[in-house]
């Protein structure tokens, strides 16, 4: 157990946060979640206890941040408009959430005595690379979403000092079941189609993706909280497991879920392709993601069969871009 008692998870009601918060509680931490809760608050219903605080608010509101951040020992920052299509629905709004709010937030955290700040960046900051990407490679973000992720890294690292320990994580594409499930991520999307329609459509197929099981992702955040500060201070870590093409992912899913599943390939203009090297985090911290795409698929299958996933092809709560469209329409009324 680390020296921290109170963990602030910003964006904690999202896909990764809703799987992380129960783990933090199970480890004995006090947890405060700051979130807009645009995907609902029911994700925490099974885990509510006196050590969990759920605070609805907008991280663009500095007055709100100055009220809620003090008293936190460590921050795990997950909040963002997360994926290119959702960001591009309203680029001004996206920038205000993903970047503009981040600058004062980091300053308030530092002044409030927060001693550790872990930032969820993205492996998309590397752009399209033929070779396996390492943390020392120059960044080449291709979209505003990934550009502002890279710029937030710079902001955070520039504020670091001996009393404000900062760490940047660049995850691969996350997969698997969580209470606030996303079905618009590669493995999850293809698995949903395989289960629901017994057919998988692969757009292109040669694009490579780094992959990471959500349980490995959340385990890493716990590990980072437990590390001595000097080991992770101003460090940037890739984290992923299997680097596979989209076609290879589809073939794994079809093999696991039934011989009757067809795979249809169609052309695409989406050339995004990357694969990441996660040797640094293995060398420095002994952390190695080991849960496979196959496990993520079977975890999702179990959740479907247990009735924890319903109307998966139509309910917008599983799809960031559809939910963001509804949210932005309400904002403009």
pLDDT in tens, 263-284: 999 988 776 677 899 999 999 9
Number of residues that this document lists for the chain: 333
Convert 263-287 to b/e letters by CB count within 10 Å (16 or more is b).
beeeeeeeebbbbbbbebbeeebeb
Q: What pLDDT, in 10s, does the model give residues 229-244?
A: 999 999 999 999 999 9
Residues in contact with 82: Cβ distance below 8 Å, sequence separation at least 6, in sequence order: 14, 15, 145, 320
Convert 12-28 to b/e letters by CB count within 10 Å (16 or more is b).
bbbbbbbbbbbbbbeee
Q: 207 phi and psi, to 5 degrees?
A: -65, 135
Q: What pLDDT, in 10s, does the model give residues 187-212?
A: 999 999 999 999 999 988 888 889 99
pLDDT score, position 2? 66
Partners of residue 118 on adjacent β-strands: 76, 167
Instruction: Give the integer Cα–Cα distance in Å for 81 and 249.
Output: 25
pLDDT score, position 236? 98
> Could you count the other beta carbons within 10 Å of the beta carbon of residue 45?
9
What is 6-332's CATH number? 3.40.50.720
The domain segmentation of the chain, as residue ranges, is 6-332
Q: Can you list the residues of the chain whose pLDDT is less than 70?
A: 1-2, 271-272, 332-333
Closest Cα to residue 58, out of 327, 322, 325?
327
């Amino acid at each position: 157990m680390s020296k921290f008692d109170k963990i602030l998870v910003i964006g904690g009601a999202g896909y990764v946060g809703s799987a992380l918060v129960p783990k933090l509680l199970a480890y004995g931490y006090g947890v405060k979640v700051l979130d807009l809760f645009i995907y609902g608050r029911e994700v925490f219903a099974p885990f509510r206890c006196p050590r969990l605080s759920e605070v609805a608010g907008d991280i663009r509101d500095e007055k709100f941040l100055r009220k809620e951040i003090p008293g936190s020992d460590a921050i795990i920052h997950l909040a963002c408009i997360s994926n290119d299509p959702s960001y591009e629905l309203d680029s001004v709004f996206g920038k205000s959430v993903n970047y503009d709010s981040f600058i004062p937030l980091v300053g308030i955290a530092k002044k409030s005595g927060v001693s550790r700040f872990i930032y969820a960046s993205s492996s998309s900051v590397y752009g399209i690379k033929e070779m396996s990407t390492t943390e020392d490679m120059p960044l080449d973000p291709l979209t505003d979403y990934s550009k502002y992720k890279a710029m937030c890294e710079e902001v955070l690292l520039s504020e670091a000092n001996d009393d404000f320990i900062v760490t940047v994580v660049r995850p691969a594409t996350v997969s698997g079941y969580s209470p606030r499930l996303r079905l618009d991520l590669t493995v999850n999307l293809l698995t949903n189609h395989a289960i629901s329609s017994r057919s998988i459509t692969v757009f292109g197929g040669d694009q490579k993706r780094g992959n990471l099981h959500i349980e490995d992702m959340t385990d890493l955040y716990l590990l980072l909280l437990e590390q001595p500060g000097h080991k992770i201070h101003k460090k940037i870590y890739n984290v992923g497991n299997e680097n596979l093409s989209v076609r290879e992912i589809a073939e794994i899913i079809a093999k696991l879920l039934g011989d009757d599943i067809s795979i249809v390939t169609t052309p695409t203009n989406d050339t995004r392709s990357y694969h990441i090297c996660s040797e640094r985090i293995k060398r420095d911290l002994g952390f190695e993601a080991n849960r496979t795409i196959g496990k993520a698929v079977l975890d999702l299958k179990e959740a479907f069969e247990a009735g924890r996933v319903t109307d998966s092809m139509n309910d917008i709560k599983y799809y960031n871009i559809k939910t963001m469209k509804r949210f932005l329409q309400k904002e403009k009324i």
